[in-house]
Every structure is written in structure tokens, then in C-alpha cells.
Amino acid sequence: MKAYFTLTMALLIGTSQLKSQSIPPYKNASLPIEQRVKDLLARMTPEEKFWQLFMIPGDLDKAAPNQYSNGLFGFQVSAASKGDAAGQLLSYNTSEDPLALTRKINAIQQYFVEKTRLGIPVIAFDEALHGLVRDGATAFPQAIALAATWDTLLMGKVAKAIATETKARGIRDILTPVVNIAADPRWGRTEETYGEDPFLASSMAISFVGAFERMGIITTPKHFIANVGDGGRDSYPIHLNERLLEEIYLPPFKAAIQQGGSRSIMTAYNSLDGTASSSNRWLLEEKLKKEWGFSGFVISDANAVGGEVVLHNTAKDYAESGKHAISNGMDVIFQTDYNHYKLFQPSFLNGGIDSNRINDAVARVLRAKFELGLFERPYVTEDHVKELLKTKIHKPLARQTARESFVLLKNNLQTLPFSTNIKSIALIGSEAKAGRLGGYSGKGNGVINMYEGLKTRAGNISIGYAEGAGMEDKNWTIVPSSALGSKEQPGLQANYFNNITLQGQPVLSRTDKELNFSWTLFGPSAETENNFYSARWSGKISAPETGLFKIGLDGNDGYRLWLDNQLVIDNWGKQGYHTMLTDFHFKQGRSYDLKVEFYEPVANGKIR
């Protein structure tokens, strides 16, 4: 009996050894992570390495067969681009059912784990500035309000709650927080920051990212570095001396990494001393990776790598901008469309980028995926999401945090709290009924606006409301394509010129359905520059009824408008954004000749 037992044990040990030998080392969870990274990296083709350094919004819903056969860094699932390779804006599906999102992420993960050659899982990433930007997720006070609590313990609780709701859906990397210093209140993204003080911003960043990282979610502090320039201009060239950077702008990033444990960082759109932040060797290699000892991965902001082409004019094309970025310390290129890979891949495959630098970037990504345990546990269960949706357990915390964030600057005549003798309260302005949650927000869980809240608490006090002026001018609207015509087609005939005087042959002619354009980091098309161009639109316009209408143009720099060959708007000069309208009597059923001319000398053109 004893001999039989010994023989059985020997057979079992032998079988176990054979089994372990058949498993590639990178799939062996008992081995050190660095050994697994090294083994997997050695098995990868140049194409597979490139795709680990490419991240996009999207999913597999419309993917062609084998489109992602070489793998991918990861998806911002159910999100999409709002523009071309130069645009920055993304749209988020904040109405997608949370369970459907969780199932989709699991299905995507299954494809990459089971259908690709090496089975490298993806990282699902998303925005979570003050709550996950998804349906069913709790919306906490905006970042600037979180900082106004001055309570790092409360911030840690908020971050843990957001992390819980994030991880339950299978999302393992958040492009958050914004730790830029709010150096100018005119900056449109001030609300996303923790304010103007580097100590406060650092303390809040540590509490926020630490809670996520301890729960196995990568945090990505942004935008590295100093995303706001003179006059509050977003993505503006920065010229700051090193002492100012060290004392004011760098501390929150350093704290998030060294004390909070952030494993990723996002670069800014702006340049620093003439070099794009996404390809700034001093910033990414010397400061971040060598001096600070950062072992994580660096990602670009959405489409920021191409900023060298359309914003900074420091690269001749996208392939060269990608080469500059990776060679100088960028690790992962964040683009907004799958097809953008064609712009950047050549430099990875033709030897344009040093292979050692590529290997280092890929290793940083693989290390993160191993640390997250995605190779062993790529999927999440639906039970946790269901429980969170059922209980809405974090709503009381959001309420408490909102109370703690209130800052009373003045209370003349002791107006607050309201006296019981008050008989009526007037609310003036559309925001009283808007119930806004702030930028980068989902739908929230039962938003109560100011008007509803006061009505609930008012008792016998009368609550009056007037819309007031509102946030937007609603006195006019864009003329639709149905009211425009050119050559028996809806829209207007458009001619674009590579000068500001409408001279010579147009570089592009096309039909524009309607006149409604905003060209920020790019011009009207590939044929034009992103500045120093002009355009002429011509065709017919008709009105739905007879009467006196206001018609005009809204935009910046030079524009003018002709109706029936009469110049009715003449604003031909470089100036700021404004609206010009004039009266014109239209008759129903009649078409009128229309011509619009526009020029943009310095970029950021807008016309409608």
C-alpha cells in the first residue's frame, strides 16, 4: 500500500511538472512579474508591440473580422470621436445600461484573451473626475468643490466609492484626476482642478489616486504639465522657468506618483519652451522617469501627439510626430479612432523608432496588465453592479460631500439661514432648474435641481421662478440645409483658399450642407492649413413663410454676407468672436441669392 501511494505521488508530481512546462512563462502566475514581462515581450511581433501602445474609444460592435488580431492597449468602451485626427472632443454613451456595459466589457475581454495569438487582455479605461461618466454611477461634487472641503479623509471615501463603481463594471484605468494648477480663473477647465494652491492640490491628489490604486485601478493624473497659458488660454504655449515649475506646477504630479501610487500619467496639449509636452524629453525622460523614478506608462491626451503637426508645427506629418513622442518618452498614443493607427504605425515598423525604446514602452504596459491581474482574472461578475444599482449606496456620501463643499463668502444682514418670517423666494435664471453636475459627468442618480429642492423644503413659503436671460442666446438658429440650395442640391457651394484674400484657384471645392464650422487645431480640410485661409459659400436661401426675419453671421475674424447681391453684413477685419444680425424681408416660395465670405489669419476659426 505504501509503495502504491509513493508511485501515485510520483505520477502526480510528474504530470504537474509537464503541465507547468507546457504553459508559457508569461502565463504562469507563480513567476515574478518582471520575468513574465520579459518572456511575453520576446514573443511579440513588431505589429503586436505597436498595438499595445495604441488606445482608442470604441468597442467591437462594428469591427471587421481580425481587425484587432494583433491586440490593443485598451478601449474607452462605448465612446466615440467628435472629429478628425486633430480634434480633442469625445462623446460618451452615458445612457447605456450598466449591466449592458459590464457584459460588453467582458465580451471584449474574452475576444482578446481567447482569439488573439498571445491572449493579451485589454485595459478598459474611462473618465471619473468626480464620479464615473456612466449611467447608474454616483455623481459627486465637481473637483473644485471636492477641494473646497479641505478634507482629505472625506476625499478618500469619495474616491473609494467611485473606484468601487468603476471596478464593478470592469474598468481598470481612469483618466483622472486633473492636478493642473488653476493659475487663471478665466481657464475653462478650472472647475476640473483642485484649485490654485499646490499643497492643497497635492494633498487631494494623494487621497484620490491612492484609493483607486489600492483597489487595483490605474489612475492617470493630467495634464503634464501646465495646461493653461497666458490669459487662461487652454493648450497655450508655456514658457515657465524651472524654479516656478518645481514650486507650483510639478508638486501635485510628483505627489500623485510617489505618495499616491499613480501608475500612469497623461501629457498636455500645450508646448513647454517650444517643445510639445507629448514629446518633451526633459519632461518625460529626465524629470519623470529618471529623477522621479516613475515606472508606469505615459499616455498622450486624445489626439495630442498630432499636435506637433496641427498646433506646434514641429513635425511634418503624423508619422514624424509619433516618432518624436515615443522616442522622447511617450509610451502610449491615445487617438480617437481606430483608423488613426495608419498615421502612426509606419515609424514603429520601419526602424524610425529605436527598438529598445519601443520595448521599454511595451514593457511598461505589460507590467501594468500583470499587476492588475488581468491575465488571471480578466472578467468581472454582474452581481456587484446589480447590487450597486439596487442600493445606490453611495448617494448619502455624495450628499454629505456636497454639504462639506459649500463655501459662504458673505452673509450680509444674516440672510442665511432664511428667517421663518420669509413669505416668498424668487429664483431667477435657467440654472435654477438645470440641475447641472459639472463637466465630465454622467446622468447621476436622481438629480434634484435648486427649484425642486427649495420647493420640497419651503413649506408655506412661496417659490417663484423666472428663466431670465439663460446661458445661451436663443434669438437665432442655424439655417438648415433644407432652406439652402446650390446646383439643385441642398446646401451651399463652398470654395476654400490657401490665403486670406480669396485669390487664385480654390484648393478645395465642395458642397457644405449648412454653414456651421469651428476649426480649432485644424483647417477646413487636408488641403488647407490650420491658419491663413479663406472661404466663400454661395447658393440660394428660402424662408418657410413671408415676413421680416433677422439674418446674419456669428463667428470670429472677417466675414460678410450678401443677399440678392446686396452687402447686408460687412465685418471684414480681424477681431474677436461676436454676432451680427440684420433685418431682411423674405417671401414664402421665393429663393434669394446668398453669398458668404470668411477669412481666418491665425487659426481657431469659427463661422456660422
For the stretch 432-459, pLDDT in tens is 999 999 999 999 999 999 999 999 989 8
Q: Model's pTM, two decimal places? A: 0.86
For the stretch 45-88, pLDDT in tens is 999 999 999 999 999 998 998 999 999 999 999 987 765 555 55
Is the predicted pLDDT of residue 12 greater than 60, yes or no? no
Is the predicted pLDDT of residue 13 greater than 50, yes or no? no
In angstroms, rounded to a whole number, what is the distance separating the alpha carbons of residues 375 and 369? 7
The verdict on whether omega for the bond into residue 541 sits within 30 degrees of 0, i.e. cis, is no
In angstroms, rounded to a whole number, what is the distance separating the alpha carbons of residues 143 and 176? 10
Residue type, 232: G
Is the predicted pLDDT of residue 221 greater than 60, yes or no? yes
Share of the chain above pLDDT 70, in %: 95
In angstroms, rounded to a whole number, what is the distance separating the alpha carbons of residues 498 and 421? 68
Q: Which has the closest alpha carbon to 126: 213, 49, 56?
A: 56
Instruction: List helix spans (H) across 223-275.
Output: 242-244, 251-258
Residue 480: left if φ>0, alpha if ψ -120 to 50, beta else—which one?
Answer: beta
Looking only at the bridges linking them, the beta strands covering 424-428 and 462-466 are parallel
3-state secondary structure 491-543: CEEEEEECCCCCCCCCCEEEEECCCCEEECCCCCCCCCCCCCEEEEEEEEEEC
**Model confidence at 602, in pLDDT bands (50, 70, 90)?**
confident
Greater confidence (22 vs 333) lies with 333
Cβ-contact 476, 484 below 8 angstroms: no
State the chain's mean pLDDT as an integer. Answer: 92
For the stretch 469-526, pLDDT in tens is 877 766 788 999 999 998 888 999 999 999 999 999 999 999 999 999 988 767 788 7
For the stretch 255-313, pLDDT in tens is 999 999 999 999 999 999 999 999 999 999 999 999 999 999 999 999 999 999 888 88
